[in-house]
Amino acid sequence: MEFDIKSYIARNRAEIDEALDSLVRGPDSPPTRLMEAVRYSLLAGGKRLRPILMLAACEAVGGDRRRAIPVACALEMIHTYSLIHDDLPSMDDDPLRRGLPTSHVVFGEATAILAGDALLTDAFRLVAAGGRAAGIDSAVICDIIEDMSAAAGSRGMIEGQALDLALEGRRGASLSEIESMHSLKTGALMRTAVTTGARIGGASDGEISALASYAVALGLAFQIRDDLLDLDAASDTGKAKGNDARRGKSTYPGLAGVDESRRRMTGLIHEAVARLSGFDERAEPLRQIAIYLGGEG
Amino acid sequence: MEFDIKSYIARNRAEIDEALDSLVRGPDSPPTRLMEAVRYSLLAGGKRLRPILMLAACEAVGGDRRRAIPVACALEMIHTYSLIHDDLPSMDDDPLRRGLPTSHVVFGEATAILAGDALLTDAFRLVAAGGRAAGIDSAVICDIIEDMSAAAGSRGMIEGQALDLALEGRRGASLSEIESMHSLKTGALMRTAVTTGARIGGASDGEISALASYAVALGLAFQIRDDLLDLDAASDTGKAKGNDARRGKSTYPGLAGVDESRRRMTGLIHEAVARLSGFDERAEPLRQIAIYLGGEG
């Protein structure tokens, strides 16, 4: 029987959605405006790509994917916080996200900032508490916290966002500057999704390193695809079309052209899949995710 | 020889300042604008009360205070992030902090938000990486991360800031609402300073619980003192005088009067010291810190 990637993604996404829902809707979740803002953004129907990659990486090394679910939810919380803060008026000033008004439009700027702060802080709590409840060894949890915080911190995602703001509107950004920015802003979190899943699954250092290379290539391919979608009138990202160009953002297709961007994206997808050559059929979900993301673009 | 609290505080503060400095000025610290903003706020000469409490709590249970230094720095990073975000235009809109222009005035709002995000994220990295390098057991590090993130998160400090914004300008806030808000906004981080120091020192559950009660009383006393200082023309907080009243903030002295506020503060200091009755002379710094803070007001 063929491996059905669409149903794999749908199944895992539903499982993550359910876990996230029970985290922030439980009977002991306080009925505050802050938590309302947290729920609004966290349960707004994301693709859950990072948690799905984490579960798939855990499976790829023969681990029990269920043990990765709390930590996968924590990573989605970190991703969601970054979206709330990136959308703020002083940052990208985006009024829409996935077709819905952004957090600061609905709740005001102060609550949006605090909701992001809460998601980030509570995510680390979930890794420590939920990870232990799921039976992950304390030393592995410390490795995971180091890995995730490095990916999200001042030398990872946050520096990527700072570079993105610095490049905005600046003429003459090079392709390599754009790639560096994306590898921090988007790639770092995708890398930690995969390496964290591998750690939970008990991976060797060699496996973690191969999976990190897979994720770096995939992350960049994913970002080029996102830039292409932004140009595409058929885009259903829920954002105004051609946002990037309108805002003077340098994008991969803007600098290299659409055809070259597609070629680069396809090359990166092949590279990602090639990095999995040492893994057996349990890495099939990771392979198919890469191919699926490439094809969608 | 009498225990000299002023020199104890000065010595510990200098040690924390030096450790913070080397964390963000090291040769491998990137020369980015983001890190410039991080350094600006982190090295702006805070009192380092929370890290000093952490070291003193570690000593109080017979632990080696040097092992607590990285985690103490991480807590100061969390405190600093909270100040940067609280000062933002959409929050308290403060142009000055400790007599210096606030982060968003110097670096712009976007960089200030990102600098706060970076301090928060990097703090958890420091607990995991620096804590292990200092020889703290992985299981204890997980306990610490749970404790600190709970204190700082959506049911701790962040909810306190949300309540503070909600109470601002509202007429008829009660003393108990003000106390609840402060116990979250300021008290939670002071509590985790003390309990975390105790955990690093190998405290029993009973010791952790007694020290938590000490910190809760101290935290509230400290906040009343801060409100009193805000009223006091001789204040040297570096803020405009009477900020709170001007902004329509409900304060303890505003509701209960100055005399009753001083009485309540003194009662809380006595309570804090009484919670330490089961500890020997190694808890003398904690006792003296409470008395010193009370006297300063």
Task: Please name the member of A108, A110, A152 whose beta carbon is closest to the beta carbon of B121.
Answer: A152
| Distance of residue A149 Cα from the nearest chain B Cα, in angstroms | 5
pLDDT by residue (tens digit) across B252-297?
888 899 999 999 999 999 999 999 999 999 999 999 999 998 875 4
The values of phi and psi at residue B122, to 5°, are -65, -25
Question: CA A225, CA B173: separation in Å to the nearest integer?
Answer: 52
* Contact between B131 and B86 (Cβ < 8 Å): no
Contact yes or no for A149 and B128 at CB 8 A:
yes
Angle in degrees, 0-180, between the axes of helices A284-296 and A49-60, rounded to the nearest 10: 150
Look at A11-20, A170-179, A279-288, B137-146 and tell me which has the smallest mean pLDDT: A170-179
- Position A37 pLDDT exceeds 50: yes
Burial A129-145 (b: 16+ CB within 10 A, else e): bbbbebebbbeebbbbb
Could you tell me which chain A residue has the CA closest to the CA of B33? A162
What Cα–Cα distance (Å) separates residue A169 from each residue in A160, A163, A176, A246, B112? Answer: 16, 12, 17, 10, 20
Task: Please name the member of B38, B139, B149 whose beta carbon is closest to the beta carbon of A154.
Answer: B38
Mean pLDDT of A70-92: 97
Percent of chain B with pLDDT strictly greater than 90? 79
Contact yes or no for A38 and B152 at CB 8 A:
no
Tokens of A140: 């592995």
pLDDT by residue (tens digit) across B52-73?
999 999 999 999 999 999 999 9
Angle in degrees, 0-180, between the axes of helices A109-133 and B69-86, rounded to the nearest 10: 150
Mean pLDDT of successive 10-residue stretches along chain B, which has 297 residues? 89 97 84 94 95 98 97 98 97 93 98 98 98 98 98 97 87 87 94 98 98 96 89 54 65 90 95 97 97 76
Q: What is the CATH number of the domain that holds B108?
A: 1.10.600.10
Contact yes or no for A110 and B124 at CB 8 A:
no
| Distance of residue A1 Cα from the nearest chain B Cα, in angstroms | 43
CA-wise closest residue to A225 among A290, A150, A156, A138 = A290
How does DSSP assign chain A, residue by residue? ----HHHHHHHHHHHHHHHHHHHHHSTTS---HHHHHHHHHHTS----HHHHHHHHHHHHTT--GGGGHHHHHHHHHHHHHHHHHHTSTTTT--SEETTEE-HHHHH-HHHHHHHHHHHHHHHHHHHHHHHHHTT--HHHHHHHHHHHHHHHSTTTHHHHHHHHHHHTT-TT--HHHHHHHHIIIIIHHHHHHHHHHHHHTT--HHHHHHHHHHHHHHHHHHHHHHHHHHH-TT--SSSPTTHHHHTT---HHHHH-HHHHHHHHHHHHHHHHHTTTTS-GGGHHHHHHHHHHHHH-
- Position A170 pLDDT exceeds 90: no
| CB pairs < 8 Å spanning A and B | 143
Question: CA B209, CA A254: separation in Å to the nearest integer?
Answer: 59
Contact yes or no for A125 and B162 at CB 8 A:
no
Mean pLDDT of A179-199: 96
Is the Cα dihedral B230, B232, B235, B239 positive or negative? positive
Structure confidence at residue B244 (pLDDT): 66
* Contact between A74 and A127 (Cβ < 8 Å): yes
User: Please, which residues have CB within 8 angstroms of residue B93's CB and are 6 or more apart in sequence?
Assistant: B87
Contact yes or no for B159 and A34 at CB 8 A:
yes
Structure confidence at residue A229 (pLDDT): 86
The count of domains in chain B is 1
Tokens of B271: 């309570």
**Residues of chain A neighbouring B138 (CB-CB closer than 8 A):** 137-139, 141-142
**Residues of chain A neighbouring B155 (CB-CB closer than 8 A):** 30
What Cα–Cα distance (Å) separates residue A228 from each residue in A50, A265, A268? Answer: 20, 10, 15
**Residues of chain B neighbouring A83 (CB-CB closer than 8 A):** none
Which among A84, A105, A113, A147 is the top mutation candidate for probing chain B, defined by the most B β-carbons within 10 Å of its own β-carbon? A113
Contact yes or no for A158 and B85 at CB 8 A:
no
pLDDT by residue (tens digit) across A202-250?
999 999 999 999 999 999 999 999 889 888 744 454 554 556 666 667 7
Domain containing A90 equals: 5-296
Structure confidence at residue B3 (pLDDT): 85
Structure confidence at residue A15 (pLDDT): 97
| Distance of residue A231 Cα from the nearest chain B Cα, in angstroms | 26
- Position A123 pLDDT exceeds 90: yes
Structure confidence at residue B245 (pLDDT): 63
The values of phi and psi at residue B149, to 5°, are -70, -35
